[in-house]
Amino acid sequence: MKYERVKIADEKDLLANLKIQLEKHNNIALTDNEFGRVLNHLNKGNIFDRAKILRDKMHLVRDDGTSAYIEFFNSREWCQNQFQVTNQVTNEGSYKNRYDVTILINGLPLVQIELKRRGLELKEAFNQVNRYRKHSYASSHGLFQYIQLFIISNGVNTKYYSNTVGYANDKSSSFKFTSFWADKENIKITKLEDFTKVFLDKCHVSKMIARYMVLKQDKTLVVLRPYQYYAVEAIIEKVKNNHNKNGYIWHTTGSGKTLTSFKASQIITELEDIYKVVFVVDRNDLDTQTIREFNAFKENSVDQTDNTKMLVKQFGDDTPLIVTTIQKLNNAISHENHKKEMDKLRNKRMIFIFDECHRSQFGETHQKITQYFTNHQLFGFTGTPIFKDNASGSTGYKRTTANLFGECLHKYVITDAISDVNVLKFAVEYVGRYREKQGSMNNVDIEVEGIDTKELMESPQRLEKIVDYIIANHDRKTHSRDFNAIFAVSSIDVLTKYYEIFKSREHGLKIATIFTYAANEEDKNADGLLDEEIQLDIFNKINQHSRDKLEGYIADYNKLFGTNYTTKDSKSFYNYYRDIAERVRKRDIDILLVVNMFLTGFDSPSLNTLYVDKNLRYHGLLQAYSRTNRILNERKSQGNIVVFRNLKKATDDAIALFANKNAQEIIFMKPYEEYLKMFDQAQIELQKLVPTPADVDILYGEEQELVFVRNFRELLRIKNILLSFADFEFDHTDMREQTFEDYKSKYLDIYDKVLSDHEKEKVSILEDVDFELELIRRDEINVNYIVMLLARLVDASNEQKDRL
């Protein structure tokens, strides 16, 4: 690996080595006073602030009054840094900690490697790193807060992540946000030895820090995943070496395409002979967070106005990166009044990157760009490409993605993402009159088959049954509203009927809705693309009756949330759209009723359920389903799809097209009966060790307690999945619910003991085990629950009575 091995026992050694390495890197000799000023400069701010300090140069006023600029990390020539490796560095804060392996770049600890022996869970290394950060990283000069990347390994599994994953105040604090490295074909590189050869190569690891980390405006560091890295590298290679070749990236929905395309845009602006990088998004996707990220990279790169003149001005000034909408780009190259300014730029080298290359206006705009600009390259991102199989329908979509963009430069499909746990599986339940579902709670007298007429499918009786089903099962699906849902319906007329039915029922659910013009039931032969444009000229698009209805629904919304939106003002209506998006993300809304809107491009990790009463196909089906499968925490185990139509074949066809025909087991959760078997098997394993809950008290030592914790945690995980099935009752398992609750109490007793031992500074092998307490759901307070508690109080000790 050609790292210099260096022995560093403590912070004194670390500081002495840092001085030598900075002097070497900057070709300068520092006095002790000067080095003291450097240390003061370094010892500022939080992890995010230090990440910026690392990448900037320090203006140092020397003892003799002259100036020097100290570079801490060479981001442009990333191989031209000083690389060292050390192990067993001791650092003392509130506790004394000894770190396994540290990679020093120019003397600063930038990569920390934590190792566990084979057979231990990788998550234990993750939890140990979190303890180090809490107890000792900030001590003294806080140099360990300059760590950019963590590597954790138990020999057979190795993962990496950035230095904000794992913080309690970070929304992405879960172990789920760690990543395996992989090759270009998405084959994971898991063994420590193989990972080290590839990822910890000096030039590669420094390139990841220099190029493939993003300092986000919400004060977090993000490191790109391997498929994102390969996609950006492929685009850069095309821009550098194949000026006339376009290309597209097929990365499945939910895999972070906007971050990938942003990073590609950012890097391309640094290349020579590129006049502009134009990043094209749909207006709907320009959320507040995206705007902040782009404007942080280059001030005013995002033009939020609806004035095309501002875009034309940006084309003519020195802004290297333009972020615009497909609507304004179309206007800029089409309208006669912009012709004079734009014609001057026709021959300049332009790179166009489309964040989602299959929007409703894309076909027309693509043709205009290629005809207008003479020196262009186009790169598109999509989670659901258009192939020959699904390239039918309206005029704009008959051309495939390959026709429009050429070669697929990198592929990361839904099966890859689910295998890597970067998105969740789907649990699809078909609710209605199905002959094969005798005895199921989902065998409801609701028409579903294709032979049923439109009149029957939209009848009040059918819609009322569906609403009643949703009200009865919503808390089960969303874990007592810890998550929320979208309800996709076939037309505005049907949506208004559903809204009125919900309004007439007693349920306590917060229902909201939004729609624009008459997007109705899809053409049976259509390609499945959903037209969900927010049109600010909605007054020309929506009939008066529907608009009056929507005005009433917005009035309900205003009353519920204390807002003041209306359809009578286009800006107010657009702000209503933005407010709904934010409230769905914050779980202020329980169910959002839509026709097409929010079914593509909308990300909300808190959303875990999609109710469907509309025909979906191909692109539109997978996009809609994928609203539910963003990772969040242990409690969110899958995306729930509840279908009130016969979409089984359409679902199978979409999966076969966008993954492969053998992908069902990877993409979908198992049937209910399978999870019951898994629960019963996990119960057998648990009771081999502890036949009764009382036997937990006589386990011999922490080794046996650890086995119990792991076995019962597996039972918790399976129960968490079972809870989302409408059919689930505890009586279907081989364990009494009371027995399960008693085991749970013993599980929590061990957790309490670990916390107590930690406070007493006792070393425990259980300290780094993840108890996944989010799986222990809030109990519903009802009569049965209270009776159960009273029964348990009778036999409880005084200490247990206090806790109960």
Taking residues 370-380, report their average pLDDT.
94
- Name the pairing type of β-strands 484-489 and 607-613: parallel
pLDDT tens, 531-550?
A: 655 554 444 556 778 889 99
Q: Considering the domain 423-667, what is its CATH architecture?
A: 3-Layer(aba) Sandwich (3.40)
Distances (CA, A) of 787 to 79, 254, 462, 782: 68, 44, 39, 9
Report whether pLDDT(524) > 50. Answer: no
Distances (CA, A) of 8 to 54, 83, 92: 21, 14, 14
- The more confident residue out of 580 and 330 is 580
pLDDT tens, 631-644?
A: 998 899 999 999 99
Structure tokens of 1? Answer: 């690996």
Torsion angle, alpha carbons of 430, 434, 440, 446, to 10? 70
CATH number assigned to the domain covering 672-803: 1.20.58.910
- Name the pairing type of β-strands 591-594 and 511-513: parallel
**Which pLDDT belongs to residue 172?**
46
pLDDT tens, 152-166?
A: 999 999 999 999 876
Same fold? 4-220, 672-803: no
Supply the mean pLDDT for the chain: 88
Which amino acid type is present at position 437?
K
Distance between CA atoms of 463 and 458, rounded to whole angstroms? 7
Distance between CA atoms of 118 and 136, rounded to whole angstroms? 26
Structure tokens of 604? Answer: 């909300």
CB 192 within 8 A of CB 199: no
Class of domain 226-412: alpha beta
C-alpha 674 chain-centroid distance: 28
Report whether pLDDT(58) > 90. Answer: yes
CB-based contacts of 700, cutoff 8 Å, min separation 6: none
Taking residues 263-276, report their average pLDDT.
93
Tell me the three-class secondary structure of 701-726, residue by residue.
HHHHHHHHHHHHHHHHHHHHHHCCCC
**Which pLDDT belongs to residue 282?**
72
Tell me the three-class secondary structure of 510-573, residue by residue.
CEEECCCCCCCCCCCCCCCCCCCCCCCCHHHCCCHHHHHHHHHHHHHHHHHHCCCCCCCCHHHH
pLDDT tens, 704-739?
A: 999 999 999 999 999 999 999 989 999 999 999 999
Identify the H or E element spanning 473.
Answer: helix 460-477
In 3D space, the residue among 525, 547, 686, 555 whose CA is nearest the CA of residue 615 turns out to be 525
**Which pLDDT belongs to residue 795?**
61
pLDDT tens, 751-764?
A: 998 888 766 666 67
Report whether pLDDT(394) > 80. Answer: no
4-220 is a CATH 3.90.1570.50 domain: yes
pLDDT band at 287 (very low <50, low <70, confident <90, very high): low
CB 57 within 8 A of CB 140: no
**Domain edges within the chain:** 4-220, 226-412, 423-667, 672-803
pTM of the model as a whole: 0.88
